[in-house]
Amino acid sequence: MEKRYFGTDGIRGRVGSHPITPEFMLKLGWAVGMAFKRQGQCRVLIGKDTRISGYMFESALEAGLSAAGAQVQLLGPMPTPAIAYLTRTFQADAGIVISASHNPYYDNGIKFFSVTGSKLPDSLELEIERLVDAPMDVVDSADLGKVARVEDASGRYIEYCKSSVPTSTSFKEFKIVVDCANGATYKVAPNVFRELGAEVALIGVQPDGMNINAGVGSTDLKALSEAVRKDGAHMGIAFDGDGDRVLMVDENGEEVDGDELLYIMALDLHQRSQLGGGVVGTLMTNLGLELAMKEQGIPFVRAKVGDRYVMAELRERGWILGGESSGHMVCLHHTSTGDGIIAALQVLKALQRSGQSLAEARRGMYKCPQKLINVRYSPSQDSLLDNPELQAAVQQAEQRMGDSGRVLLRLSGTEPLIRVMVEGADGAQVEKEAGTLADKVRSLFGAS
């Protein structure tokens, strides 16, 4: 069955537009409570990022869950991976994250985790959708769910992050600028790095409900790059609004993306005979990472775009390391989902072991020129990528690129965007072909 509400990363959209409304969230909370209650008693954790609408949706979900008889524990502003971890360690039936990740403040969304700290299976998401569309009733007053706040959630997660590196670890030789995107990591991330000895400067740690991801964080590295150069720091670390992504800048202020971070971690694990298999990337992963893995004798496979697909591929193969260019890093030997802080710690430890700077470590991987252009379209349009005129344009671009490049068009799972990606050996040709295809997409489907 096709899902009506769930996308590749939960339910997401503009606040005030269906389904991101208080009414829907009330019903969604009830549906989640009913779906999990059928397996016995139901206890649900709720966390959120810093966007202003989180308070409204937290209350609506809380009311719906209580109406279904579910017990609720509130975590407050916490990174998405922290909620996955706490759901697992509290042995709660489900964890709910109120966040639109890297999106602007006027968007919001809902993500779910199971008792294992992993995303919900499709069958359970479909059951929740079925219940959302069913009549809502309320349990007897004596059976209504109670709500409590978890007071030590941040401390628990900080210690968990620190446990992902050896207990003797000290990063006192590193001067780091940390950019928390005015989002969910603004409290915990600075403490993690400071408690491990690093000298830490901060940006993006003054959330006001509306400045999340605004000119800071992993979606906009300009401020971080300037801060690293100005402070003479060894590197900068940028998280997105909910903390499941991480990107870096090196000591020269140059961006280090998810593919390069994945390369650094994979090489470190491989050299210590702890990789235990290969590496999973996505259709968007730069060809340079694939070639670098081949050179090291490390198996490499591509999954569909989305951390849940990376995770599924890792679990199927019994591997531990995968990620996306955007900064979703999955380290299954430490955590059950993508975790920006834990991934950053693994990169720092790899640099410490190798004695290299971040700029030196990234040079081991040559990145093929790649151009990604996002084109916004009207959400009412269907079957966009099957359009014959667009398919013909893609085939023509592929013929011109030959064996020296590749073309990929896909729909975003979280926003009404068509992502146009071209990659190849010739940077000028890559730019030209990407621009031509993006123009074609705009002429056919571009939002007014």
Q: Checking DSSP bridges between strand 43-48 and strand 235-239, what pairing results, if any?
A: unpaired
Nearest Cα to Cα of residue 337 among 242, 272, 259, 247: 242
Residues annotated within the binding site are 101, 240, 242, 244
Contact (CB, 8 A) for 251 and 194:
no
Read off φ and ψ for residue 231, nearest 5 degrees. -85, -10
Contact (CB, 8 A) for 33 and 68:
yes
* H helices present in 90-219, as ranges: 122-132, 153-162, 188-195
Q: What DSSP state is assigned to residue 135? A: P
Nearest Cα to Cα of residue 183 among 340, 9, 16: 340
The sign of the CA dihedral 377, 96, 153, 159 is negative
Tell me the CA distances in angstroms from 239 to 220, 338, 383, one per residue in order: 10, 12, 33
- Cα radius of gyration rounded to whole Å, the chain: 22
Active-site positions read 101
- Sequence-ordered list of residues with C-beta below 8 angstroms from that of 270, at least 6 positions apart, any chain: 296, 298
Read off φ and ψ for residue 118, nearest 5 degrees. -110, 165
Residues annotated within the binding site for Mg(2+) are 101, 240, 242, 244
Give CA–CA dist 45/341, Å, rounded.
21
Q: With residue 407 as reference, give the H or E element that holds it.
A: strand 405-411
Q: With residue 265 as reference, give the H or E element that holds it.
A: helix 258-271
